[in-house]
Amino acid sequence: MKKLRTFLATLSILSGFLIALSCSSNDSDPDPKLETCTKTCEDGFILNADDCECEKEACTKTCDGNFILNEDTCECEEFIAAVVEVDASDVTLVGDWKKRTTIDGYTGEGYIVWEGPGQTWKGTVGEVGKLTYKINIEKTGTYLFQWRSYIAKKAAVDPWAEHNDTWLKFPDADDFFGRKAGSTIDIYPKGSGKSPNPAGENGNGFFKIYMNDVDKWSMISSTSDSDAHQVYVTFNEAKEYTVEIAARSDFHAIDSFKLTQQKP
């Protein structure tokens, strides 16, 4: 019996020793999560200590004047606006659209003018005398739309308010809206599914685009009656897009139109 007690005591001591040895061994094993990362990152990258990986450093530089930030290089670069210009007469004419050269000062080979009945609110807006143009956008962004137009028939009363507008639509652009200088509220054509809508007769996704200059070619291209907004178009992809122009006022002549990329 004495030998058995001695054996059990020895076994207990040995077990305790082995357990202590095991704990000591585990405590000495390094925890991978606690290892210090010594990786060095190149310029423009910072070390994420959690996963020991280099990540691109966020650029917080601010650019002044006509410069914009290149987020890839974190450098300020001069903004050079892309401009798309189209000769309005370079299209297959339909209905009572006519190509004319009577008014001096036109560019290209002539201008177009609607000589049929006015389409201020007859039938479906924008469906009568609809002309289709294709434009190629190489730089994405938001563009200011302007056309060069002329009141080709002067009314006896308020000549600045007659024969001065035409329908316009960008059916496949990512956005098509009016914006007033200093305002934070954009307006959208009636029928576009967006709101608010401008004052005046608009519909079917078309804007009424008007000007008020008499006896001269004008670049004024406004929408929203008595509350003029400039017209903008946004293109999120570099590709071909469609421009639709449709008859509204009779004897509103259009020489050309252009889109000017805006600074982001």
pLDDT in tens, 62-89: 888 778 787 777 888 888 999 999 999 9
Whether the pLDDT of residue 147 is over 90: the answer is yes
**CATH number of residue 129's parent domain:** 2.60.120.260
Q: Comparing 211 with 18, which gets the higher pLDDT? A: 211
In degrees and rounded to multiples of 5, residue 165 shows phi and psi of -150, 160
Q: Is residue 55 part of a domain?
A: no
Q: How many CA atoms lie within 13 A of 83 on its CB side?
A: 7
- The total domain count for the chain is 1
Q: Is residue 207 part of a domain?
A: yes
Residue 91 is classified by DSSP as S
Q: Is residue 178 part of a domain?
A: yes
Strand partners, 67: 78
Identify the burial level of 183 via C-beta atoms within 10 angstroms of its C-beta, where 0-12 means exposed, 13-18 middle and 19 or more buried: exposed
Q: Which helix (H) or strand (E) holds 5?
A: helix 2-28
Q: Is residue 196 part of a domain?
A: yes
Give the pLDDT confidence score for residue 64 in this predicted structure.
82
Q: Is residue 20 part of a domain?
A: no
Give the pLDDT confidence score for residue 32 in this predicted structure.
53
Q: Is residue 48 part of a domain?
A: no
CA distance 123 to 148: 27
Strand partners, 100: 111
Q: Comparing 3 with 161, which gets the higher pLDDT? A: 161
Question: 233 lies in which domain range?
Answer: 83-261
CA distance 140 to 262: 10
